[in-house]
Amino acid sequence: MLNDASRFSPAAKRVILLTGFDPFGGDMQNPSWLIAQALHGQRIAGHVVIAAQLPTVFDEALQHLQALVAAHQPALTLCLGQAGGRAALSLERIGININDARIADNRGHQPIDTPVVPGGPAAYFSTLPIKAMLRATLCAGVPCEVSQTAGTFVCNHVLYGLMHMLARGTGQAGARGGFVHVPWLPAQGTPHLPLRDMVRGIHTALWTAMLVQSDIALGAGATY
Ligand code: PCA
């Protein structure tokens, strides 16, 4: 399913954009950014990983992401975020067109029931092969699951906004994108995962996403 002609163009950029967030809600660190930093510069399937930090701020995070996608023209963008209380890497299936913040973001904004994109579609699916990524990550021995909700805070905002910009043609033709929530680090609370395991899991998931174009290639209804 290598249907993306730009892959073979000499002008095509060979970048994987990997983002993480700054700490929020009183936390001192955010594992999503530590994971992204750990993978910065890695070569995966002929592409180089570029790590970038997004602010945990509504709208500003999307402005940053839009500029990054426009500048780097990534073949694949994976955004990472922290989800305290989850015990496994959570491969998000869907972003929805709603901001409904339980707490204030890092600039004190707390939007309630506003759209991410006024007039935009209700939701976007991730275009990453989440079932293939799930299998490979579990095979690597890292706890992993498919998640049916990225919440309604800045992470969902970024997933929805990323898929909207890709659908509207920002960046490389055929570029894919998605989102993974990660658990706390041991120092932040329970449940948690060690940083090295999360880095290995995201590395495996990225390789799989680059090698498998779509879950449809696995056959409809690929099981857990
Ligand atoms: N997690 C938050 C926003 C930033 C982050 O790392 C979320 O789940 O929305």
Q: Is-contact 95 159, C-beta < 8 A?
A: yes
Nearest to 19 by CA among 96, 74, 59, 58: 74
pLDDT of 191 above 90: yes
In angstroms, rounded to a whole number, what is the distance separating the alpha carbons of residues 16 and 14? 7
DSSP 103-129: S--TTS---EEE-SSTT--SEEE--S-
Question: How much distance in Å is there from the Cα of 29 to the middle of ligand 1?
Answer: 12
| Fold of domain 5-218 | Aminopeptidase (3.40.630)
Pocket of ligand 1 contains residue 147 by CB under 6 Å: no
Confidence at residue 10, expressed as pLDDT on a 0 to 100 scale: 44
pLDDT of 29 above 60: yes
Q: Is-contact 29 185, C-beta < 8 A?
A: yes
Residue found by looking up tokens 């780097």 in the block? 72
In angstroms, rounded to a whole number, what is the distance separating the alpha carbons of residues 192 and 140? 17
Q: What is the tens place of the pLDDT at every residue in 175-184? A: 999 999 999 9
- Helix H or strand E segment including 145: strand 144-147
Q: What is the tens place of the pLDDT at every residue in 194-207? A: 999 999 999 999 99
| Residues forming the active site | 92, 155, 181
Residue 140 carries which DSSP code?
Answer: T
Pocket of ligand 1 contains residue 183 by CB under 6 Å: no
Delimit the domains of the chain by residue range: 5-218
